[in-house]
Amino acid sequence: MVKADKKICLRCSGCVAVCPQSALKLTEHGIECDPDKCTKCGICVRFCPVGALKLED
Ligand code: SF4
Ligand code: SF4
């Protein structure tokens, strides 16, 4: 799954839009990842303009 650094994230929703699995959503707590949907493809990590996303187990 993917973790977003809340201190860096701009809440632009770009990662939500590019995820092919619809695994990300923007909530009041920031970007949240559904580990059952995420395939760890890394597309969102490469897309994020401020480097706020990290792949995790
Ligand atoms: S693309 Fe980056 S800055 Fe934009 S919402 Fe996602 S994690 Fe935050
Ligand atoms: S790593 Fe891939 S599947 Fe997982 S949240 Fe990012 S874009 Fe979606």
Q: What angle is formed at CA 20 by the lines to CA 18 and CA 23, rounded to 5 degrees?
A: 90
pTM of the predicted model, to two decimals?
Answer: 0.95
pLDDT at position 57 is 82
Nearest bound ligand to the CA of residue 14 = 1
* pLDDT single digits (tens) 7-35: 999 999 999 999 999 999 999 999 999 99
Atom of ligand 2 nearest to the CA of 37: 3
pLDDT at position 18 is 98
Indicate the domain borders of the chain. 2-55
Cβ neighbour number for residue 10 with a 10 Å cutoff: 10
Question: Residue 34 in contact with residue 15, Cβ under 8 Å?
Answer: no
Phi-psi domain of 26 (left: phi exceeds 0; alpha: psi -120 through 50; beta: other): beta
Considering the domain 2-55 in this protein, what is its CATH number?
3.30.70.20
CA of 8 to the centre of ligand 1 (A): 8
Q: Give the residue, by CA position, lying nearest to ligand 2 atom 4.
A: 38
